[in-house]
């Protein structure tokens, strides 16, 4: 009973009553309460401290801001009293109007931020937003599939895919890469990831056993890229999909020596012709990234389906 009497005494002050009424409507900071009530910080902070001490208000810190909210169940007698007494305060309507205005400013501030990002969302740093994180999220959306990572190297991508795939076959013509990748797979406990030594132009995979055939920056290493694409068609199940991530055509000749590239990328027309000649359907090709630094490599994504 004493706590209820204390609460009554606390709420006999119009400022504290106004604070509690607002905080029942919305979680607010001291700065927002200052704006709504047109009062100084010290007066509002003192009122909040008393309300918090009596357990009528709680707070939480978000970065440099502290948000306050009422800790008052809607069906409690005190809540009914706050609603009734608060409505009799002359400033009641003004407070609610100012609250709506302040919350509108919150939304406008968020909208202004995203308006500034419009047209450059993918090219601007955003905390926590990375292609690696996005890849992990998207993999959860995929059904369990059998995937062939053709030209896998040590298999960093293969191991990422193996987290959600039914089975991943990582194919590479480097014995050292296959040994290293297989050891890493064992170390990480990937029972569904198998490394096989072989050429992407003749992958050691049975016909029509694969759901997705993936070339990730591998096709430009092939002596005969059309042959590699045709082999992907062979190993795919009907309805299976080929995915090619590779460089767009460029003139950076040093790539042959620096990165052992056989081909200086491919044009969209060249990739389309390879896929069409291999009898793929539903061909889709687009440029998905452009590097800002010289030699300004561009990455092409090509997908198609085996009928």
User: Looking at the chain, which residues constitute the CATH 1.10.10.10 domain(s)?
Assistant: 2-119
Give the domain 131-305 fold. Rossmann fold (3.40.50)
Instruction: For 3-29, write each residue's pLDDT tens digit.
Output: 566 666 777 788 888 888 888 888 999
Angle at which helix 268-277 crosses helix 225-235, to 10 degrees, equals 50
Beta-sheet pairing, 210-216 with 193-197 = unpaired
**Beta bridge mates, 9:** none
Q: Which of 248, 251, 265 is nearest to 295 (CA)?
A: 251
Tell me how long the chain is.
307
Contact of 193 with 185, CB cutoff 8 Å: yes
> Where in the chain do CATH 3.40.50.150 domains reside?
131-305
Domain boundaries 2-119, corresponding CATH code: 1.10.10.10
Percentage of the chain beyond pLDDT 90 is 42
Confidence of residue 133 (pLDDT cuts 50, 70, 90): low
Q: Which is more confident, 77 or 274?
A: 274
- pLDDT digits over 137-150, tens only? 766 677 889 999 99
Q: Is the pLDDT of residue 118 over 70?
A: no
Q: Look over the chain and give the mean of its residue pLDDT values, rounded to a whole number.
A: 85
DSSP conformational letter for 110:
H
Q: Tell me the per-residue pLDDT of 54-95, one tens digit each, with 9 for 90 and over.
A: 888 999 887 778 899 988 877 777 777 777 766 777 888 888
What are the tens digits of pLDDT across the range 186-240?
Answer: 998 999 999 999 999 999 999 999 999 999 999 999 989 999 999 999 999 999 9
Mean pLDDT comparison of 119-123, 266-270, 301-305, highest-scoring range: 301-305
């Amino acid at each position: 009973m004493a706590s209820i009497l204390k609460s009554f005494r606390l709420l006999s002050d119009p400022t504290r009553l106004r604070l509690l009424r607002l905080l029942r409507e919305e979680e607010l900071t001291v700065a927002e309460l200052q704006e709504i009530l047109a009062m100084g910080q010290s007066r509002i902070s003192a009122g909040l401290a008393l309300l918090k001490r009596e357990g009528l208000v709680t707070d939480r810190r978000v970065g440099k801001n502290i948000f306050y909210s009422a800790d008052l169940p809607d069906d409690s007698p005190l809540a009914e009293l706050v609603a009734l007494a608060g409505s009799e305060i002359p400033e009641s309507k003004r407070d609610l109007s100012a609250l709506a205005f302040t919350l509108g400013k919150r939304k406008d501030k968020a909208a202004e931020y995203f308006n500034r990002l419009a047209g450059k969302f993918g090219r601007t740093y955003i905390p926590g937003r990375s292609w690696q994180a996005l890849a992990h999220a998207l993999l959860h959306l995929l059904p369990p599939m059998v995937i062939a990572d053709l030209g896998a190297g040590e298999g960093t991508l293969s191991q990422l895919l193996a987290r959600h795939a039914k089975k991943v076959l990582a194919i590479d013509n480097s014995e050292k890469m296959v040994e290293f990748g297989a050891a890493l797979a064992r170390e990480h406990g990937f029972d569904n990831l198998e490394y096989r030594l072989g050429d992407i132009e003749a992958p050691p995979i049975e016909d029509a056993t694969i759901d997705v055939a993936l070339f990730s920056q591998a096709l430009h290493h092939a002596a005969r890229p059309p042959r590699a694409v045709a082999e992907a068609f062979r190993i795919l199940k009907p309805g299976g999909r080929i995915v090619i991530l590779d460089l767009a055509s460029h003139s950076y000749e040093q790539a042959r020596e620096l990165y052992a590239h056989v081909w200086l990328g491919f044009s969209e027309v060249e990739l389309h012709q390879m896929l069409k000649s291999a009898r793929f359907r539903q061909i889709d090709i687009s440029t998905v990234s452009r590097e800002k630094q010289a030699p300004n490599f561009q990455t092409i994504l090509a997908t198609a389906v085996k009928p």
